[in-house]
Every structure is written in C-alpha cells, then in structure tokens.
Structure 1
Amino acid sequence: MAIVLLALLGYYLWKNGLTLGPLTGSPSYQAVFLTNGQVYFGKASNINSNYLDLRDVYYLQVSEVLQPVQGKSQPESRQSISLAKLGVSELHKPKDAMKINRDQVLFIEDLETNSQVVQAIVKYKEDQLKAL
C-alpha cells in the first residue's frame, strides 16, 4: 500500500511541475538553454510540467559593429554583447513572462548571485528605479 501511495505522490508531483530540487521556490535566477541555441535568463517555475514558466525575463543581444581600420580596405567587425529585457525593445511588446515548451529546453542552470548576468540584471533594475 505504501508503494502505491509513493508512486501516486511521485506522479502527482511530476505532472504538476513540482520539484524537490534546488530550483523549487528559488529566489535566484536561472539560465534556460533552448534547442535553437537561444538562452533566456529569469525566474523559472513549473520546470517539470509540459510548459516551463519564466518571468522577469532577459536574453543576450549580439550587435555587430563595423570599425574602419586605417590602411585596410575592409572594415573590421566587432561583436558587442548586451543583456536585453524582454518586452522593452521588441516591436510586438511581449509581456515579461514566457511559457516555454519543455521539449525545447536542453537544460536549466541556477545562477549565483555574483554572476555577471545577475549583476547586470540588478544594475538594470537599479537604473530603472533611478529613472523614475
């Protein structure tokens, strides 16, 4: 009887997206790596359900800058990487939350509070408060 109850509890937790791992209720940010190569940063929940929820979403934006070089006919290209907030610069203005099909997720990592990404998010939020 106890085995049946444990099996039912495990199935319930699996179907409802609840986990017993460190990502449950984590106040920190996670990096969500997708099968298309895109990486999103945010606060993940329901990581075991069919659709992972991600809120307070950021992503990396790569810009290519062409710099003229004296003595060369072709300019050099330099890539610049910045952190972008979802919903700020997109033309269609999405809300700051995503539901990601779990089949498209390769893996999820918890980010340390001293990571460059988390520090950039904290700085972005501080700058937004100063602008008010």
Structure 2
Amino acid sequence: MTPFLRLALRLDAAVSGACGLLMAGLPRPVAALTGLPAPLLLGAGLFLLAYGGLLAWLGARAALPRPMLWLLVAGNLAWAAECAALPLLGWVAPNGLGIAFLAVQAVAVAAFAELYLIALRRAALRSAA
C-alpha cells in the first residue's frame, strides 16, 4: 500500500459516498432535476454508499492484493461505460442536466480507474527493481 494508492482509495471513497448520499438520500428531487428515474438513482446511490464504505476499509488496510485492485479498475470502467450506455441505448431519457450528471460520473470513475492502473504500474516497477 503506497501513499498514492491510499490517497486514490480515500478520494474514491469520498466521492462515491457523497454521490451515494445525494442519490439515495434525495432520489426524487435529483430525478426531477435530471430526468433520470428515481428508482435507478436510489439503487445506484445505495450501491455507492456500500462501495464507498468498502473503499474506505480497503484504504485503511496495510496491504491490498493486486486482484482486488484489478477488480476496482474493471468495476470503475464498467460504471463509466454504463453511464454512457444508459442514454445512448435509450434505457433512460435524461434531460441536459441528467446527461451532464451521467457524463461527470463517467469521467470521474474512469479517472479513478486510471489512478488504480498507475498504482498497479508503480507496484510492478518496484517489484521488478
């Protein structure tokens, strides 16, 4: 566990937790603003609260197995793809603010995936040295 990885986990935990609180705590108002379905926001928000808790726990550990880090990369990339796919495939019909809401999430989770990939590359370089 490097300071860089610990920081990435803590930032991801904070962002996921905050977004989860917003979506799970206020699904109807967020739905009214974004045009996204309230049940989708509630379910995603509850998931993000649990995910944020997991990330906080992982960030407090002394070590993190590489397969877990790869799982975080894959999960973040899948979340980013789903944020883009929801309106593109017609599964939801958000308004402009809803599109922006999904786009910001997609970019943020893709950025966290990249941070985890950087941590994996750094760990591989350290173990090769």
More strand by share: 1
Structure in which a larger fraction of residues adopt helix: 2
Greater Cα radius of gyration, structure 1 or 2:
1
